[in-house]
Amino acid sequence: MDSSNKLGLIGKNISYSFSKKYFEDKFKKKKLSDFSYEIFDLQEINEIEEVFLKPSLLGFNVTIPYKEKIIDYLDALSDEAQKIGAVNCVLIENGKKTGYNTDAFGFEKTLIAHKKPHHDSALVLGNGGAAKAIQYVLDKHHIPYKTISRKSEINFDNLDTETVSENKLIIQCTPVGTFPNTEDCLNFPFEALTHQHLVIDLIYNPECSQFLLNSSQNGAKTVNGYYMLEQQAEKAWEIWSFQKK
């Protein structure tokens, strides 16, 4: 029997995705036999046009590398998505496609759970769609930050130990080190980390990335992206299921 409510995930090379199992388990638990969750692995963003043609598509999650590119294909954005400039959740209602950003919600929950008063300035590693949600949350909490990316003024080649010492909150937002390339790691002066540092890596697969491993070996407190992922998924479910009531 064809499910009358389809959800899914769009991204590129995403066979490892957490979302499918997470939502299928949720459907079972809630006895929602009329829901299904599909992986849409797109080589190019314009393939999204075909996804939109699927009947009974209620919405989908968006992951790397399409969180910013998807915006051109949507009809409306939530306030957060508008301010962040990145979307990771889409709701389709009566043909209208609205983009949301639940990454910000997930990261904020993570930050509040682990942050201490001395984590009062941050380094954001990466400048893609995920980093934009992190920057939004840091702004909201009045935490000044520097963004380190390949093309920024301070980049992975010239980031010095002093800058790392001064900023006690480090958020790794790039996909470097994600399964299956688990041995990859950003070029980073780990020796500047101390037990006062909080290092959050948005990667959840593997559970402990090479970046987190190197950070904990230098005494930093480390947190992976699993709780954030879970929280953003719950928020996405709220967006989709509330529309069904």
As annotated, the active-site residues are: 67
* Calpha distance 134→108 (Å, rounded): 8
Contact 10, 37 (CB under 8 A): no
Residues 6+ apart with CB under 8 A from 42: 10, 11, 12, 48, 51, 66
* Calpha distance 19→95 (Å, rounded): 24
Q: In sequence order, what DSSP letters do the residues of 52-83 get, joined into one string?
A: HTSTTEEEEEE-TT-TTGGGGG-SEE-HHHHH
- Number of Cα atoms under 13 Å in the Cβ half of residue 112: 11
Residue in 103, 87, 83 with CA at minimum distance from that of residue 173: 103
